[in-house]
Amino acid sequence: MSGSMLSSAALDERRRRILFRAWRRGMREMDLVMGQFADANLPGMSEAELDEFERLMEAPDPEVLSWITGEAPTPPERDTALFARLCAAPREAMRRANEAE
């Protein structure tokens, strides 16, 4: 089971492939970050954002995780609005969970 809350049935082939890859990163932490971000954002992403998300998923998980946590500086070519949304997503999910309690 992937953990995805998004049904791939209504997605085009490219988005289905991205959703699958987002939930199967190799590191469970990155499965959760990328997968949950894909669940929340994938249907509304533009072609340019899809391109960028696919390029980001090509980067090694430990590197991306270090950029997200701030352990390493984000490379300028990765420091984009989409990456900022990706970095904010786990904090937003935690905030919503705490409010629901």
Rounded to an integer, what distance in angstroms lies between the CA atom of residue 98 and that of residue 38? Answer: 22
Q: What pLDDT was estimated at residue 86?
A: 95
Q: What pLDDT was estimated at residue 4?
A: 66
**Triad 97, 19, 25: Cα angle to 5°:** 80
From first to last of its 101 residues, the chain has per-residue pLDDT tens of 356 667 677 789 999 999 999 999 989 999 999 999 999 999 999 999 999 999 999 999 999 999 999 999 999 999 999 999 999 987 776 677 778 87
Q: What pLDDT was estimated at residue 55?
A: 96
As a CATH number, domain 12-100 is 1.10.150.250
Rounded to an integer, what distance in angstroms lies between the CA atom of residue 35 and that of residue 77? Answer: 22
Q: Which two tokens stand for residue 74?
A: 């984000």
Supply the angle between the helices 81-100 and 61-69 in degrees, to the nearest 10. 70
Beta carbons within 8 Å of 36's beta carbon, 6+ residues apart: 89, 90, 93
Q: What pLDDT was estimated at residue 34?
A: 94
